[in-house]
Amino acid sequence: MMGRYALVQRSEVSLKSIMLVPLVTFVLALLGSMVLFGFLGAPPLEVLYRLLIDPLASAYNISEVVIKAAPLILIAQGLAIGFRAKVWNIGAEGQLIIGAVAASVIPITFPESQNVLMLPAMMLAGMIAGAAWAGIAAALKTRFNASEIIVTLMLNQIAVQILYFLINGPLKDPMGFSYPQSVSFPPVAMYPLLSDDGMLRANASILVVILLSIAALIYVTRTFSGYTLLVGGLAPSAASYAGFSAKKAVWITLLIGGAAAGLAGVGEISGPIGRLQPSLSPGYGFAAIIVAYLGGLHPVGILLAGTFMAIVYVGADGAIIDVGLPPAAPVIFQGMVLVFYLASFALVQYRIVRVQPEARA
């Protein structure tokens, strides 16, 4: 006879075991992909090489890693602030899209402009729009206690539809034949490239991301506002006793998360893409959730985890073409990272106990 099982928190969790979690996750996910992709006929060691070494083996690949790391890290920094406060924004993908759409209106309206303020204006527009999109979830949560998980998740779908509608309508390039895409952006709408080598696409957005990571570090470690959010996450009764408003925490965290995702959207259209088009992100908004947790919800950890994730992204992209992995390979890998992370983290923090023992035999 089976009893009911429950997860029960461990009292003492050593720092060592917490630090081990990302490591164990990496190793298991890599082993898992070697086995899984091995079944598909890819030689396991080749897969390992492709995923981990190849992405760092050439200047071009490194530049690609930088391009992918920027949005992952940026979004994850924003989300982590919410996750520490136990506000679950899983709508970064939609916030990214809305940020990109809003920002794209500027270069699409002024395609010939040479005003150097265009990029800053786009960044601002992207952040405001992303924050506003997340703000819908905050409003529904604080007003009607609607789960922010569900709302942000559904807003992702709505954002995609808005993008499709606009890109086939008002924002479409009239000269673009039947392609649903906008005009190419003028140079002032683009992040400057980091090198003169025309092949390398890495751009200044990574510098913005690093600066914002430092800002996130200061926010969570030095500011009172960051402290109140953390208290709300760690001990809600203490937060309520101290008078730290739970509603305010929902607003702050969702707005920050939305702004970061919106800015990441600008990074895509003003970076590697250079215009508005139906596909803006290979799921950065979701992968960033994994990055945030893998980084221990700490700004420095997130920098490392985001870089790692970007490496695997680039590696898997290459492997799809060269070793014949299925196109879903990167997503499968992310899925494995998430599952192994959750499992190992849960087992570090909790024990499994049986709530209702079997009757005596």
Partner 1 sequence: MASAFGGPVSLTFQPIHACRKNKNTTFVASLAYVIEAAPLRVVINNREQHLKTKAGESPLLLQLRNITKRYGTYVANDSVDLALEHGQICAILGENGAGKSTLMKTIYGIQQPDEGEIVWNGEKVAVTSPSVARDLGIGMVFQHFSLFETISVVENISLTVPGSLPDLAEIIRQKADEYGLHVNPDAPVHGLSVGERQRVEIIRCLMQDPKLLILDEPTSVLPPHSVQQLFGTLRKLSERGVAMLYISHKLEEIRDLCHCAVVLRQGRVTGTANPRQATSAELARLMIGQDIPTARHAEAKPSCEPALTVSDLTYENPDPLGESLDSVSMAVRPGEIVGIAGVSGNGQSTLARILSGEIRLQGHMAGRIQVFDHPVGDAPPGTRRQMGVTFVPEERLGRATVPTMSLADNVLLTAHGAGLVRKGLIRRRQQADFADKCISAMDVRSRGRQSIASSLSGGNLQKFVLGREILLKPRILIVSQPTWGIDVGAAAMVRQKLVDLRDTGTAILMISEELEEIFEISDRIHVMYHGRLSPSVQARSVTAEDVGRMMMGEFDQKMRAA
The CB-of-249 to partner 1 minimum distance in angstroms stands at: 13
x/- map, 242-271, partner 1, by CB under 8 A: xxxx--------------------------
Amino acid at 254: L
| 109 belongs to the binding site for partner 1 (CB under 8 A) | no
| 354 belongs to the binding site for partner 1 (CB under 8 A) | yes
| 346 belongs to the binding site for partner 1 (CB under 8 A) | no
| 356 belongs to the binding site for partner 1 (CB under 8 A) | yes
CA atoms within 13 A on the CB side of 285: 33
Rounded to the nearest 5°, which phi and psi values hold at 90? -115, 25
Binding span for partner 1 by CB under 8 A among 24-32, 206-214, 223-231, 312-320: 223-231
CB atoms within 10 A of CB 173: 18
| 20 belongs to the binding site for partner 1 (CB under 8 A) | no
Tell me which residue of 361, 349, 329 sits closest to 29, measured CA to CA.
329
| 225 belongs to the binding site for partner 1 (CB under 8 A) | yes
Rounded to the nearest 5°, which phi and psi values hold at 353? -125, 155
x/- map, 170-209, partner 1, by CB under 8 A: ----------------------------------------
Q: Which of 49, 60, 110, 227 binds partner 1 (CB under 8 A)?
A: 227
Binding span for partner 1 by CB under 8 A among 103-111, 191-199, 238-246, 273-281: 238-246
> d(Cα 191, Cα 204) in Å, to the nearest integer?
6
The CB-of-66 to partner 1 minimum distance in angstroms stands at: 32
Q: Which of 216, 231, 259, 292 binds partner 1 (CB under 8 A)?
A: 231
| 85 belongs to the binding site for partner 1 (CB under 8 A) | no
Measured from the CB atom, the residue of 3 and 176 that comes closer to partner 1 is: 3
Measured from the CB atom, the residue of 12 and 112 that comes closer to partner 1 is: 12
Binding span for partner 1 by CB under 8 A among 2-10, 45-53, 155-163, 176-184: 2-10
DSSP 28-62: HHHHHHHHHHHHTT--HHHHHIIIIIGGGSSHHHH
| 157 belongs to the binding site for partner 1 (CB under 8 A) | no
8 Å CB contact between 26 and 312: no
> d(Cα 32, Cα 47) in Å, to the nearest integer?
11
| 2 belongs to the binding site for partner 1 (CB under 8 A) | no
Measured from the CB atom, the residue of 11 and 178 that comes closer to partner 1 is: 11
| 222 belongs to the binding site for partner 1 (CB under 8 A) | yes
> d(Cα 234, Cα 228) in Å, to the nearest integer?
10
Q: Is 275 left (phi over 0), alpha (psi -120 to 50) or beta?
A: beta
> d(Cα 346, Cα 298) in Å, to the nearest integer?
18
The CB-of-132 to partner 1 minimum distance in angstroms stands at: 23
The CB-of-9 to partner 1 minimum distance in angstroms stands at: 4
Residue with token string 């506003």: 132
Rounded to the nearest 5°, which phi and psi values hold at 297? 55, 25
The CA radius of gyration of the chain, in Å to the nearest whole number, is: 22
Measured from the CB atom, the residue of 70 and 231 that comes closer to partner 1 is: 231
Pair of tokens at residue 314: 């680039």
Tell me which residue of 267, 282, 284, 264 sits closest to 189, measured CA to CA.
267
Q: Residues in the site for partner 1, rule: CB under 8 A?
A: 3, 6, 8-12, 222-225, 227, 231, 234-235, 237-238, 240-245, 351-361
